[in-house]
A and B are shown apart, each in its own frame.
Chain A
Amino acid sequence: MNRLGSGSIQALLEKFREKAAAVSSHVVGLPDLPAAFAYAADLCARKKACPSLISGCEEALSNSAAAFCPAPLGKTIAAPDLGEADFALLRQTVAAHGLTCLRDGLRAYAGGLDVSLTTADMAIAETCTCVFSAIDEDRRLASMLCEVHLILLPITRIVADYEAALAGLEALFKTAGPQCVSWVSASSRTSDIERVLTTGVHGPLEVHILLVHGDAPYKRDAPATRGAA
């Protein structure tokens, strides 16, 4: 899916990085999928012990909210997009860190996931927007419930702007049946108290975009073919 707009790939990447920096998203260039998994494992391992520590566990909460705290089973990393072989590789990569790898059933983790790794179908450099098309609940929830959202983005999927994205988006929009197309352009944020920008109000506190070369290894399975993790 190469829909490069005007300008070279270098110019697009430069624009993408500039726009990401403006909204405090991290952009990391990585050589391949194993490197992305290693990045995810390292980041998740360095995260503090309580799964939701950065998102409110330490605060004084009402009894009902405190009771909703996810069971302290250790840290979680969700990757519902990955095919069987890739998911196995991820599990192998994170095994040494004692992380729980999840590929479905994420609804049970509504209290919070530590890290999610999802794959963007397209990205728009002008607004640093990653586009995900998925009606499957787990694929959608992964990017909502986690505290750190890692986005795998093959650089060939970056287009310049809305104009360049239009044809690809329309193709998604016009595909028959249920549709959910999510644009993620930053971490979850609010300025509702005294206009002070605060991240992580309902969704991820951090977004990391992992730029990888190539395209073929990141094709996802259809949901029906996926097995349990």
Chain B
Amino acid sequence: MSEAKTLKAYRREVRAALDDDFLRAAFDAFAEAYPAGRSKAFGGLDPATLIDRAANDKDASIPRLMALYAQFKSQAEARGCAVHLAKDGPEANRIIASIAEAENCRTVIKAKSMTAEEIFLNRHLESQGLKVIESDLGEWIIQLRREGPSHMVMPAIHLSRAQVADLFTEVTQQRQEPDIDRLVKVARRELRPWFASADMGVTGANFALADSGLIGLVTNEGNARLVTTLPRLHVALVGLDKLLPDLRSALDILTVLPRNATGQAITAYVTWLGGAPRGPNAQRRHIVFLDNGRLALAKDPLFSQALRCIRCGACANVCPVYRLVGGHTMGHIYMGPIGLVLTYFFHGSDAARQLIQNCANCGACKKVCAANIDLPDLIQAVRARLVREDGSSAKSALIRSVMTRRPLFHKLLRFASRAQRPLTGNGPYMRHLPFLFFGDQSFRSLPALAPRAFRDTWKKRAAKPDDTPASGHKVVLFAGCAHDFIYPDQLEAGLKVMAAKGASVDFPAGQTCCGLPLHMMGEDVAVRAIARQNLTAVPLAGCDYIVTLCASCASFLNNHYPGLAARENDPALAAAATAFAAKVIDFSSFARNILQLSGDDFLPSPETVAYHSACHLCRGLGVTREPRDLIRATGANYQPTRDEDVCCGFGGSYSLNFPEISRELLTKKLADATASGATRLVADCPGCVLQLRGGARKKKPDLMVGHIAELLAERLKPGNQ
């Protein structure tokens, strides 16, 4: 559970997690195994269709949670349940403690519930003198260790069998061997008496069905069945977001939940309960619904989608950052990508302020989400809210002020290009980094700014758009800052390829940064100002395509500009943004699908080439086939690598904020690339090239790293040039 109040303190937690070898190995093994398990569980089914259906069911319920609550309450009460509604955590805690008091309870046995974790229920019940025992194996283990969960589904995944054996030795006062099968049996026997003797059982619920008043519990261990049966009293604590109209919607979710969570077609048990038995073994059942901000969230046009979450934990399973540091570091109570968002709403700005920075915006979570939640977007939006609440930091304010003034921004970059000479020795890399500012960036070489920016050489070239064949495609080149000022040679390579196929290219000089870096910083107003500048600077008339060699620019222009413009109350701008976005295309898609480059265009190549699939290309734009086709077309031996679509660790300002995580992701990426036998690694994004090339220069000097356009330009047949 991270409670860091400053980035510096938070980075200390991050470093401690990175130093935990067992944690690293455990999360790594899980991340490796998860995709295959998930894919097997979906078998012949189409995950996208099933996920759409589940998300639609949740969307239909979210706007009418109170109506569903009223219907549920009347149905459940008719069956003999007591139903309560708590506005927040303290009220829910008070309700549950008062039920325990009224029923003379002394011991409480619990099944796993993230909602109970959310409100610190155990702590409250214990403060009222109750003995509380967690019965889910993982939860029991972490309760004994006085820790919080490190994963929503596998709360003790961060612990080794040896640690559990030591813990159980302490608990039983008998020596326990680190044998998992035997440790599980010990837990079974140690916990069973508590089930039988507890006065009250507490569970959460996965579903609350309004039309029947039943709750549904999805479990594997079977402890929740005992918790709801053996004690004379059962209390279910349920988030209002678990309300659904009927069984049909629950079955839609149940089709997705276990498959996405643990790679199971269904869990061992699903228990549906309504009312309580009467007669000799009579039970009483209370259902306590928790608001704690959910109703307000339900009304938010953007953030209401967070309530679709069905707590499968998949977003954490695929998150490259979570994989490195685990849920204690990447979470407060809720962890992983959804945890970053929920922490802000359920536990407040102070708990979220540092955590929310720990996302590289790679989009892996969004792709796997069981409820189609746009997690990267929500994380950025929380950052923007925090900027509105707190004001910008001095650093952000300076960056914002410069980047929204294009002439000033570019003038400063030109100045920096000259001023950097003592640091670069006129070479392509920074030889000496000012240690005070960049000491922790030394895990990779940082490139020098190019002596001349692309925009400055463009002004002087003889070929103007009008000179090119009328039959070719008319292209506007959107350069992006990294290509314009650091890697103009990559743009030249792209121009060479486009010219070979008769495309005419224009470069409107009024274009500026796409706005993604400011978006990542939560500088919402500045991003909209920048979008307006670009939309004004790029003439759409006579332009067939807006081509960019930067996957991040392409993804941001394509996915965000229409939405940004729509918020400006300017219909003409909104229409322009939609038309603009429709013309945006990444370089590989343009080269393959529009220019139709094929094997005939290239000289044969003996090279073995690996590909790094940039996050914003493969997930941001869904482009996966084209770059690989192009590599093969050059005659090179394309060598697939492990985790080819996992983030390289750049993430723009992310690598500056969290260099220790960035370094780890980079190291793994380069190791995977060289393990494949490749001598060259290409990508579709200058940010990735910066990261990978800088890392290779330090650690893998034999690996050549470049942009895919450079590979294509190099291998073009002479007749094509």
A residues with a Cβ closer than 8 A to B are 19, 22-23, 52, 55-57, 59-66, 68, 107, 110-112, 126-129, 135-137, 140-141, 144, 162, 166, 169-170, 173-174, 176-196, 198, 200-204
Contact = CB atoms under 8 A, between A and B. Distances in A.
B112 to A, nearest CB: 10
Contacts of A203: 221-222, 225-226, 268-269
29 contacts: A52-B189, A55-B185, A60-B176, A60-B186, A65-B190, A127-B265, A127-B266, A136-B277, A144-B225, A144-B229, A162-B255, A173-B272, A176-B79, A177-B80, A178-B79, A181-B214, A181-B271, A182-B270, A186-B267, A188-B220, A191-B154, A191-B262, A192-B138, A194-B180, A198-B184, A200-B184, A201-B223, A202-B225, A203-B269
B183 to A, nearest CB: 6
A184 B270 CA distance: 7
Interface string B30-56: 100100000000000000000000000
B155 A192 contact: yes
Given A183-B271, A195-B29, A56 B189 contact: yes
Contact of B192 (A110, A180, A187, A204): A110
Interface in B177-203: 180-193, 195-196
Nearest to B22: A194
**5 nearest A-B residue pairs (beta carbon):** A203-B222, A178-B275, A60-B174, A192-B138, A56-B185
A183 B192 contact: no
B471 interface: no
Interface string B624-647: 000000000000000000000000
A129 B209 CA distance: 20
Given A137-B281, A184-B268, A190 B137 contact: yes
B269 A183 contact: yes
A186 B267 CA distance: 8
Interface string B118-149: 00000000000000000111100100000000
A158 to B, nearest CB: 15
A203 B247 CA distance: 26
B372 to A, nearest CB: 20
Given A65-B172, A195-B154, 14 more contacts: A56-B186, A127-B266, A144-B222, A173-B214, A173-B247, A173-B274, A181-B271, A181-B272, A184-B268, A185-B265, A187-B268, A189-B221, A192-B155, A193-B138
Contacts of B656: none
Interface string B17-33: 00000000010011001
B704 interface: no
Contacts of B269: 182-185, 188, 203
Contact of A179 (B141, B174, B251, B274): B274
A202 B29 CA distance: 26
B387 to A, nearest CB: 39
Interface of B: 26, 29-30, 33, 78-80, 135-138, 141, 154-157, 159-161, 164, 171-176, 180-193, 195-196, 209, 211-212, 214, 220-223, 225-226, 229-230, 246-248, 251, 254-255, 262, 265-278, 281
Nearest to A57: B189
Given A173-B209, A203-B221, A192 B137 contact: yes
Nearest to B196: A110
A118 B10 CA distance: 54
A26 to B, nearest CB: 15
A193 B156 contact: yes
B275 A182 contact: no
A122 to B, nearest CB: 13
Contacts of B271: 180-183
Contacts of B281: 107, 137
Scoring A56, A181, A188, A192 by chain B CB atoms within 10 A of each residue's CB, the highest score goes to: A192
A76 to B, nearest CB: 15
B173 A62 contact: yes
A68 B220 CA distance: 24
Contact of B265 (A19, A64, A190): A19
Contacts of B172: 60-62, 65
Given A137-B281, A169-B247, A192-B156, A202 B226 contact: yes
A1 B497 CA distance: 69
Contacts of B159: 193-194
Nearest to A193: B180
Contacts of B221: 188-190, 201-203
Contacts of B273: 179-180
